[in-house]
């Protein structure tokens, strides 16, 4: 018999309703609640609360709100507070019952400003240590990369600001010397955001620099800067932060050419770290026979020898490019049969610039075989770039939800921690049944092949005996 919906009045009271029974045993939030410790936050922020006044919302609950905001990829804190009463799994995860009054969305923003960045760094580190204890981190091979984050502000908010330099408050001003004026474009909406350019695209916002472990793609370091920060200047900080977080010394680093500067190669050499980093090669419009690579550097004499056998002597240092200048005498170059093809300057002879750290650059180019370099750079794509892609697709990483460097840093710390939590949960609740079944099937096939070979051998022996 076909049933129909009961149109009676809704009940005023519900008995025997339990959120615990409503949340499935295999629900992701149940697994996270069982294995992730959110209670550490109470001791971390205890000094930030007074002993008088109204009782605040439990810091553990607030931290879980922030976790859900990025884990569930909710658009805003208002949307989270609005959806919370309708989500039984969220209520259960945060420790509320179905008839409890949930907090206002403002408690999240107030707590974020009060707690500061260090609390969330501790949360990220705690998750990282759990991943290390679970065997998900090797720590010796890491991939370093960065990604742009659009600020929660428009480029139209940029305004020119002038800063006067050249005079000190405690110095007597000289009317004959005019102070220097520096112009800087700053967003009036988010003053910490800066204009940065990457892959041909200009972005107003920030940049997240990550170190990703090679073994399982665990994010071990996240450093947030303004978008105009040069990638190469952050490598040393990222490596040292990785060592601090994991207590493992790095042996190999893979990164793109943005990190390929002489200072980084020197740092890696001094710390006995093998680099897999391509550097920016200077494009030369000369014929290949007279490219800079064709000139041989003599380390003992500290000079270059050209293809014709003449010497280019050291004449000075170019600090802007951190390079030494080597130049040949023009009269000597004029006597060379390759003068017109080699020398392009009208007043000087052939000139070459050598990076002060060129010996470390040469080491980096030859420390790995082409196969090893190609393999590691391929893994960098899947690990480092894959980590950013996962953050974009699942946690709205590409746009800042808040304004200010500290708040964007907190956002990146939470997102990186959530990505590590997801990998940790997959590791804890992995299903080995399929692997066992495959192994059993393989063993059965091997036994069948062995028995088949034994029977064939016995048959061959018997046939030989009968023939004899």
pLDDT in tens, 47-102: 888 887 778 889 999 999 999 999 999 989 999 999 999 999 999 999 998 888 99
Among 214, 255, 233, CA closest to 373? 255
Q: Is residue 429 part of a domain?
A: no
Tokens of 168: 């000190």
Least confidently predicted of 211-220, 297-306, 371-380:
297-306
Q: Which backbone phi and psi does 123 adopt, to 5 degrees?
A: -60, -45
Q: Is residue 185 part of a domain?
A: yes
Q: Is residue 468 part of a domain?
A: no
Signed CA dihedral, 36, 398, 186, 202: sign only: positive
What is the percentage of the chain residues whose pLDDT exceeds 70? 83
What pLDDT is attached to residue 387? 94
Question: For residue 438, is pLDDT > 70?
Answer: no
What pLDDT is attached to residue 187? 87
pLDDT band at 162 (very low <50, low <70, confident <90, very high): low
Residues 317 and 389 in one domain: no
What pLDDT is attached to residue 356? 81
Residues 136 and 271 in one domain: yes
199 vs 149 pLDDT, higher one: 149
Q: Give the up-direction half-sphere exposure of residue 363: CA atoms within 13 A in the CB hemisphere.
A: 17
Query: Is the whole model's pTM more than 0.85, yes or no?
Result: no
Question: For residue 16, is pLDDT > 60?
Answer: yes
Residues 256 and 394 in one domain: yes
What pLDDT is attached to residue 293? 74
Give residue-wise pLDDT tens across range 163-184: 555 555 444 444 554 555 555 7
pLDDT band at 435 (very low <50, low <70, confident <90, very high): low
Give residue-wise pLDDT tens across range 111-132: 998 999 999 999 999 999 999 9
Q: Is residue 101 part of a domain?
A: yes
Residues 214 and 327 in one domain: no
What pLDDT is attached to residue 286? 47
Q: What average pLDDT does the structure give for the chain?
A: 83
CA angle, residues 431, 436, 440, in degrees to nearest 5: 160
Inter-residue contact 312 to 352 (CB < 8 Å): yes
User: Which residues have a Cβ under 8 Å from the Cβ of 8 and sit 6 or more positions away?
Assistant: none
Residues 91 and 49 in one domain: yes
What pLDDT is attached to residue 177? 46
Residues 142 and 57 in one domain: no
Residues 62 and 142 in one domain: no
Among 273, 232, 280, CA closest to 142? 273
Q: Helix or strand or coil: residue 276?
A: strand
What pLDDT is attached to residue 164? 56
What pLDDT is attached to residue 285? 47
Residues 54 and 98 in one domain: yes
Q: How far is residue 404's CA from residue 205's CA, in Å, rounded to a whole number?
A: 10
Q: How far is residue 287's CA from residue 47's CA, in Å, rounded to a whole number?
A: 69
Q: Is residue 87 part of a domain?
A: yes
Residues 265 and 295 in one domain: no
Residue range 410-420: mean pLDDT, rounded: 96
Residues 374 and 316 in one domain: no
Q: What is the total count of domains within the chain?
A: 3
Give residue-wise pLDDT tens across range 446-456: 776 766 666 66
Q: Helix or strand or coil: residue 283?
A: coil
Give residue-wise pLDDT tens across range 287-313: 456 777 778 888 888 888 888 888 888
Q: How far is residue 111's CA from residue 16's CA, in Å, rounded to a whole number?
A: 35
Residues 135 and 107 in one domain: no
Residues 152 and 259 in one domain: yes
Question: For residue 31, is pLDDT > 50?
Answer: yes
Domain carrying residue 39: 19-115
What pLDDT is attached to residue 10? 65
pLDDT band at 468 (very low <50, low <70, confident <90, very high): very low
Q: Is residue 355 part of a domain?
A: no
Q: How far is residue 389's CA from residue 106's CA, in Å, rounded to a whole number?
A: 30
Q: Is residue 222 part of a domain?
A: yes
Tokens 């190999």 sit on residue? 252
What is the percentage of the chain residues whose pLDDT exceeds 90? 46
Q: Is residue 435 part of a domain?
A: no
């Amino acid at each position: 018999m076909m049933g129909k919906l009961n149109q009676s009045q809704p009940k005023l009271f519900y008995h025997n309703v339990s959120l615990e029974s409503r949340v499935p045993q295999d629900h992701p939030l149940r697994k996270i609640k069982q294995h992730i410790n959110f209670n550490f936050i109470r001791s971390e922020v205890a000094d930030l609360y007074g002993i008088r006044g109204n009782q605040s919302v439990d810091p553990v609950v607030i931290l879980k709100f922030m976790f859900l905001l990025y884990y569930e990829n909710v658009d805003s804190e208002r949307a989270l507070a609005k959806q919370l009463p309708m989500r039984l799994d969220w209520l259960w995860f945060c420790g509320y019952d179905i008839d409890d009054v949930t907090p206002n969305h403002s408690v999240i923003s107030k707590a974020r400003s009060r707690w500061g960045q260090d609390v969330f760094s501790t949360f990220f580190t705690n998750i990282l240590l759990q991943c290390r204890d679970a065997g998900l981190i090797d720590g010796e091979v890491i991939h370093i990369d960065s990604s742009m984050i659009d600020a929660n502000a428009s480029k139209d908010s940029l305004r020119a600001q002038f800063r006067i330099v050249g005079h000190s408050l405690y110095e007597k001003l000289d009317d004959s010397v005019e102070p220097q004026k520096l112009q800087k474009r700053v967003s009036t909406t988010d003053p910490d955001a800066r204009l940065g350019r990457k892959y041909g695209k200009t972005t107003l916002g920030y940049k997240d620099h990550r170190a990703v472990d090679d073994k399982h793609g665990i994010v071990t370091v996240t450093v947030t800067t303004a978008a105009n920060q040069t990638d190469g200047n952050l490598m040393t900080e990222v490596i040292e932060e990785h060592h601090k977080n994991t207590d493992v010394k790095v042996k190999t680093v893979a990164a793109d050419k943005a990190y390929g500067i002489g200072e980084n190669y020197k740092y890696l050499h001094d710390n006995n770290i093998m680099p897999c980093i391509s550097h920016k090669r200077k494009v030369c419009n000369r014929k290949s026979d007279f490219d800079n690579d064709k000139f041989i550097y003599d380390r003992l004499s500290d000079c270059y020898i050209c293809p014709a056998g003449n010497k280019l002597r050291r004449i000075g240092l170019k600090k802007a490019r951190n390079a030494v200048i080597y130049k040949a005498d023009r009269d000597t170059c004029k006597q060379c049969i390759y003068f017109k093809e080699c020398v392009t300057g009208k007043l000087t002879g052939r000139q070459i610039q050598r990076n002060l750290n060129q010996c470390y650059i040469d080491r980096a180019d030859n420390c790995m075989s082409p196969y090893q370099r190609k393999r590691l750079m391929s893994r960098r794509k899947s690990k480092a770039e894959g980590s950013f892609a996962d953050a974009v697709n699942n946690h709205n990483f590409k746009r800042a939800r808040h304004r200010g460097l500290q708040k964007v840093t907190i956002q990146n710390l939470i997102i990186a921690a959530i990505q590590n939590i997801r990998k940790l949960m997959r590791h804890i609740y992995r299903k080995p049944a399929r692997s066992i079944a495959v192994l059993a099937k393989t063993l059965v096939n091997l036994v069948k092949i062995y028995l088949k070979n034994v029977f064939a051998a016995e048959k061959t022996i018997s046939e030989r005996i009968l023939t004899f």
